[in-house]
Amino acid sequence: MNYTECYISSGYNCGNYDDIMTLMKIIYLLRSETHKVLLGQHSYYLSEIPKKILESHMNMCFSAYLDNVLYLGNITDMNEFEKIMRNVFLKKYENNKKDVNFINDGKFSINKLMERFTDIDRDTLYSLKYALLEAIHPTSKIVQTILSEDRVRFQKVKNIFPICNFKVASNKCVYKEIYNYTWIEICGNDLNGKDFEEIVCLNYTDFNLIITENLKDLSDFIYYISTFETEVYELAIAIYGNPDKLHELIDTKLIEICGENRRFIKMNDDILNDIYYKNY
């Protein structure tokens, strides 16, 4: 594993808004107007999510939906969403006129439908949960986000940044699961918008971003910025690439942003191990 171009800053709070803003300031510092920005998302398409993880996520979202605490703010066509959800019930209960009338009658209420159709079978319930997850996903036709499908630049690429593929345990580097990533271009104006800030917040503990000038070769990047959680429930930020420029910024702009106690240092096995078990 080559550490020579990787620097790490640790001691960030996983849920602290100021620390999230620190990450954003680092991005703004390293990116110039001519650079492209790519955000890495593992399991961007639902078909890429392992079955067990998919079902767990579906169950979690559906439970939140029933409790009326699932965020649906990204859905830009609520009528289409409700039509999709109704159609799952109609496919099951289309042979009973009273059931069809109940499904189509009045304002859509998932809880009323679930109360009515207590005999819903596993396959239909799965279809209902999947339809919900599909509807709130960035690739959905009824959802408009800055991660839309037309901005996908690379698909199913194994993570090329070393720190994301290793975890230190018992003073040894042990392979973690290596995800395939889909890389989406975040266009210039969006980088300064509220939507990008929300995306950084949602991905803060597993953040992967590339600054590049080459949209044909992903490995030809200028900087790769990544975050990872440590064993002591802190967060570390890693930057890979362009070591000469990084070395220049560490004692100037980066120390102004991160502070002396979170100074970026060149990574090696001892440093990485210390970060994982610091004060543990």
What is the Cα 61 distance to its own chain's centre?
16
Among 11-20, 87-96, 157-166, 251-260, the least confident range: 157-166
> Do both 131 and 158 map to the same domain?
no
> Do both 264 and 158 map to the same domain?
yes
Using one digit for the tens of pLDDT, what is the confidence trace for 50-93? 888 899 999 999 999 999 999 888 898 999 999 999 999 999 99
Above 50 in pLDDT, residue 35? yes
**For residues 252 and 241, what is the distance between their CA atoms, to the nearest angstrom?**
18
Per-residue confidence band for 16, with pLDDT thresholds at 50, 70 and 90: confident
pLDDT at 163: 58
- Single residue among 81, 106, 136 that ends a domain in this structure: 136
- Single residue among 87, 112, 136 that ends a domain in this structure: 136
> Do both 184 and 205 map to the same domain?
yes
pLDDT at 188: 80
> Do both 119 and 227 map to the same domain?
no
Using one digit for the tens of pLDDT, what is the confidence trace for 107-125? 899 999 999 999 999 999 9
Does residue 82 form part of some domain? yes
> Do both 213 and 266 map to the same domain?
yes
**For residues 251 and 240, what is the distance between their CA atoms, to the nearest angstrom?**
17
pTM for the model: 0.79
Count Cβ atoms below 10 Å from residue 209 Cβ, excluding itself.
23
Cα distances from 99 to residues 22, 84, 91, in angstroms, run 54, 17, 11
Share of the chain above pLDDT 90, in %: 52
Instruction: Give the chain's domain count.
Output: 2
Identify which of 68, 28, 71 has the alpha carbon closest to the alpha carbon of residue 202.
Answer: 71
Does residue 102 form part of some domain? yes
CB 243 within 8 A of CB 5: yes
Q: What angle do CA 264, 268, 270 make, to 5 degrees?
A: 105
Does residue 141 form part of some domain? no
> Do both 175 and 262 map to the same domain?
yes
Mean pLDDT of all residues in 241-249: 90
Does residue 265 form part of some domain? yes
Using one digit for the tens of pLDDT, what is the confidence trace for 181-197? 899 999 888 888 888 88
- Single residue among 104, 136, 168 that ends a domain in this structure: 136
Range of the domain at 209: 6-44+147-277
pLDDT at 173: 45
> Do both 244 and 153 map to the same domain?
yes
